[in-house]
Amino acid sequence: MSENREVSVGFIGLGNMGAPMAQRLVEWPGGLVVCDVRPDAVRPFTDAGATAAGTPAELGERCGVISVVVLDDDQVRTVVTGPDGLLQTAKPGTVIAVHSTISDRTAVQLGAECASHGVEFVDAPISGGAPAAQRGALAVMVGGSGAAFDAVREPFGRFGSLVIHAGEVGAGTRMKLARNLLHFVAFTAASEAQRLAEAAGLDITQLGKVVRHSDSHTGGPGAIMLRKTTAPVEADDFWFTVLGHVRDLGEKDLALALDLAGRLDVELPLAWRALHDLGDGLGVGPGAIAKEQK
């Protein structure tokens, strides 16, 4: 058994996300210590063999790697730096990982404060929701030192099937914010698609089935996120033909949807923006249809 696997892991916050994540660590060889303000949230873990801690400080003195899943920046600060916080007792070399989505500035500030105690801090936000946590299939984006990443990679692999070292402290949060930007802009686009379909007399629940089915095969928006740069694509680059084809198809379909929307008197501001920006966003410039629309 490696030295890393002998380290006790602590988990603070056993809510909708934290509980299924921590459940994947119950059989961690070094032992699991859990902490939550709700006794009923702790009980299933102690029944399964984990140890309970009354406060973050009590947990901090027992564990070498600590995961934190609480609500927001203020709660994270309280858990890490408060009177009963982790830094009151955490030993030098301990790694504190925050999985909550917080400000990247908060992550950097906490990283500096932890460093002053000889403690490693990583911001490690997660993507995939509770179902992925239950399956051990979360994506975990880690911002921190290489040594800290090495320390957390194996325990995080219990609840995450993709564990990425995003870079320095703060980088994990920045990656999560970029990922969620796509997520919620896509939700807004989905609302436009539903308005268009509803105005056209279509069953929007059936449309939803089609979208989920096709995205499961095409990969959705992530399918085009394969390049290492957002710079314009040179004409002789392999990607120019591929992304140019995507642009031409997209502009055609967007123009047809906007024509339908005009006849149905439905406003589609995101669709107009997409028509004009798609080519530049893909790095191949606007196509003929977008140029005609300007």
Tell me if residue 91 is catalytic: no
Q: Which amino acid is at 269?
A: P
Q: Bridge partners of 9?
A: 32, 65
- Which one, of 183, 189, 196, 209, lies nearest residue 256 by Cα? 196
Residue found under tokens 């040179």: 234
CA distance linking residue 48 with residue 26, whole number of Å? 7
Other C-beta atoms lying within 10 Å of the C-beta of residue 69: 26
CA distance linking residue 249 with residue 278, whole number of Å? 11
Contact 284, 244 (CB under 8 A): yes
Residue found under tokens 């099937």: 161
Could you say which of 91, 176, 228, 252 is catalytic? 176
CA distance linking residue 278 with residue 3, whole number of Å? 50
Catalytic (active-site) positions? 176
